[in-house]
Each structure stands twice: as structure tokens, then as C-alpha cells.
Amino acid sequence: MADDFLGRLVQVSRAGPSASTRTVLIAFSVNLLVATAKSVAAVVTGSASVLAEAAHSWADTGNEVFLLVANRRSRRPPDDLHPLGHGREAYVWSLLAALGLFVAGAAVSVTHGIQELLRPAPATDFVVGYVVLAVSFPLEGISFLQSVRQAKPAAALMERDLIEQVMATSDPTLRAVFAEDSAALVGLVIAAAGLAAHQATGSSTPDAVGSILVGLLLAVVAATLINRNRQFLVGEQADPRIRAAALRSLLEMPEVARVTYLRLEIVGPQMVSVIGDVDLEGDDTEPNLAIRLRALEASISASPAVAGAVFSLSAPDEPSLSV
């Protein structure tokens, strides 16, 4: 596929696996450090909001392990039982990570907030909480900026804004880190506000409400991630612009007279399978046509962004596709 758009897409897909691993490793390191600091602050201060943030960070830390497994297992090469590779495993492990965020993050935070409302407890040593939250913000920002840097090239190529690209990307680890870090930054602001209101009023109610709000925020993020992974597991076609570029590239091949059917399905992070019906140039014998079709499939499958290609001959009465 010599089309310039596809060439740039292939470059992005080649950089994807290593960039995703780097993004997850940075997120894991940051979350482990931040989770430890928040846990100490939660014990010292007794703040419900800070405890909710500690649960959030521990959930994120555990989730990065799932995401590392997702990256590793999805890159295994094709075999007899998995001719299109193991790319969809990325969505299975990312789905488990999202469920972990919901249970270990959202449920714990909401439950603790409700308990705090029912059985209020005073907080102390507010300065410790403020310092930990203040230090956590730039650390979480480092991880967030790494996910932004990874998403930017594809966003520019696809002419999308950053959030639209993150939601549309076939890389679930990038989407998870971006969403978790975004929620972490918002959660830190909520926790700081809850802690400050607790100190100002002497009431633990604002702190408890902050914990519940952090939990609800995590629940929304987790539900969004679960749904996107579900959609990719069920099967989702590639972006229409990618399909149009692939069609244009096929029609530019000298051996292809016309294309009557073309389907690009996402089968893993930055990976698609290609299925199509084509009419080849010339009037050849059936054995030679079969050989030429296999050669066409091999040519398309040589792209790093293509997990496999299958082509059949078009019927004479089938309408041609046009770009």
C-alpha cells in the first residue's frame, strides 16, 4: 500500500507498541509512588478524600500490570489457531483493568464516603495532606503528558482533536492511561477541595462528599473504558478514511482492474484484517488467477498494520467501488 496516508499510518503503527509500553511503565512508576504517599497521608490525616485518592492510585497501579500483560500478549505472532495473531487479547486484559478500576477505585471510594457520612471522624495534620496532594499533581501530570505525546501523531494524521483520537484509537492501553491520569488530576483537585472544606468548617461532610465524587468520577471512567473494550472485542471496522486510503491504494495497483467489496476490521492495536473482492487485469486462466490473488494478498499482508488479507474474484455484475 503505497498511499502516502497509509505510509504515515504504518509509521505510527510501528511506533505504537514500544510507545505504549513506555507510557504504561511511566504510569506504573508514578502511580506506585503516588499511591504510597497518599496512603501515608490518609493514615496521618484521617481524610476521606485523601483515602479515596489513595484507593484510586492503588487501583491504577494494579491496572498498569494488566495493561503491561495486554501489550505483551497481544504482540504474540500468528499461529495455526490464531491466523490473525493475538491482537484482541489487548482488549481482554484492558477490560479486566477497567473492571479493577471500577471495583478497587470507584466502589471503595463511594463506600468509604458513605461510611464517613454515617460515622463522621475528624481529620488532623492537614498540611501533610496538602503537601502530598500538591506533589502528586505534577507526578500524575508527567504520566498524563506521556500519553498525550503518544496520542498526538495519530491525532494529527487522522485530523482529530486529542480526546476524539484517544476515544477512537485501537490502542486500549493508551486510552486507559490517558483516562486514568485525567481522572487522577481531577480527583486531586476534588480531594484538595474536600480537605480544605473539612479544615475550614470542622465538619467531615465535605470530605466525605469529596470521596463519593472521586468514586463517581472513577465509575464513569471505568464504564467508558469497559464499553470501548467491549466494542473492539465484538468487532469494529476501521475508520472510513483508512478504508478509503486502502481502496485508493488497491485501485492504483497495476494488476487490479476494480474493487467491488472491501472490509477492514480492527483485530488489535493498530492492526486490521483486509477482506475484499477484486477484478484483476487481463483474461487469465483460473490457476493463474489463484496465483495472482495469493500474490496480491501477500503484498497487502506485508504491511505491519495488516494482520492478514483475503481476496476473492469479483462477479461480473457486481458494482465497482470508487474513492
Instruction: Note whether 99 and 161 are same-domain residues.
Output: yes
Instruction: Note whether 105 and 163 are same-domain residues.
Output: yes
pLDDT at 96: 93
User: Of all helices (H) and strands (E), which one includes residue 103?
Assistant: none
Phi-psi sector, 161: left (phi>0), alpha (psi -120 to 50), beta: beta
Instruction: Note whether 192 and 284 are same-domain residues.
Output: no
Is pLDDT above 50 for 132? yes
Grid cell 503505497 is found at 2
Q: What is the pLDDT of residues 75-88, one digit of tens each?
A: 898 888 898 899 99
Whether residue 170 is contained in a domain is answered as yes
User: Of all helices (H) and strands (E), which one includes residue 312?
Assistant: strand 306-313
CATH number at residue 219: 1.20.1510.10
pTM given for the model: 0.86
- pLDDT band with cut points at 50, 70 and 90 for residue 303: confident
Whether residue 224 is contained in a domain is answered as yes
Q: What is the pLDDT of residues 12-57, one digit of tens each?
A: 555 556 788 889 999 999 999 999 999 999 999 888 889 888 998 9
Domain range holding 287? 240-313
Q: What is the mean pLDDT of residues 137-165?
A: 91
Instruction: Note whether 96 and 158 are same-domain residues.
Output: yes
Whether residue 323 is contained in a domain is answered as no
Instruction: Note whether 219 and 290 are same-domain residues.
Output: no
Averaged pLDDT of the chain = 89
Instruction: Note whether 277 and 205 are same-domain residues.
Output: no
Looking at 234, 256, 282, the residue that finishes a domain is 234
- pLDDT band with cut points at 50, 70 and 90 for residue 188: very high
Query: What's the start-to-end Cα distance of the chain, in Å?
Result: 15
User: Of all helices (H) and strands (E), which one includes residue 299?
Assistant: helix 286-301
| DSSP assignments along 206-274, one per residue | HHHHHHHHHHHHHHHHHHHHHHHHHHHHH-EEPPHHHHHHHHHHHHTSTTEEEEEEEEEEEEETTEEEE
Whether residue 322 is contained in a domain is answered as no
Q: What is the pLDDT of residues 88-128, one digit of tens each?
A: 999 999 999 999 888 888 888 899 889 888 888 887 888 99
d(CA 154, CA 164): 11
Instruction: Note whether 165 and 203 are same-domain residues.
Output: yes
**Residue 21 CB: number of other CB atoms within 10 A?**
16
**DSSP secondary structure letter of residue 170:** S
Whether residue 106 is contained in a domain is answered as yes
The counts of H helices and E strands in the chain are 10, 4
Whether residue 321 is contained in a domain is answered as no
Q: How far is CA 235 from the centre of its chain?
A: 15
Instruction: Note whether 172 and 294 are same-domain residues.
Output: no
d(CA 70, CA 75): 9
Whether residue 203 is contained in a domain is answered as yes
Instruction: Note whether 199 and 294 are same-domain residues.
Output: no
Q: What is the mean pLDDT of residues 221-237?
A: 94
pLDDT at 230: 95
Q: Which residues, including other chains, have CB under 8 Å from residue 57's CB and lie 6 or more apart? A: 31, 34, 35, 38, 136, 184
Instruction: Note whether 271 and 224 are same-domain residues.
Output: no
Is pLDDT above 90 for 304? no
Q: What is the pLDDT of residues 245-293, one digit of tens each?
A: 889 889 989 999 999 999 999 999 989 999 999 999 888 888 888 999 9
pLDDT at 294: 94
pLDDT at 16: 56
- pLDDT band with cut points at 50, 70 and 90 for residue 143: very high
Half-sphere exposure of 92 (CA within 13 A, CB side): 9
pLDDT at 2: 44
pLDDT at 40: 93
Instruction: Note whether 198 and 295 are same-domain residues.
Output: no
CATH number at residue 259: 3.30.70
Looking at 208, 234, 260, the residue that finishes a domain is 234
Domain count, the chain: 2
Instruction: Note whether 131 and 210 are same-domain residues.
Output: yes
d(CA 137, CA 285): 68
- Strands of the sheet containing 306-313, edge to edge, are 236-237, 256-268, 271-280, 306-313
Whether residue 319 is contained in a domain is answered as no
Looking at 219, 234, 249, the residue that finishes a domain is 234
pLDDT at 1: 42
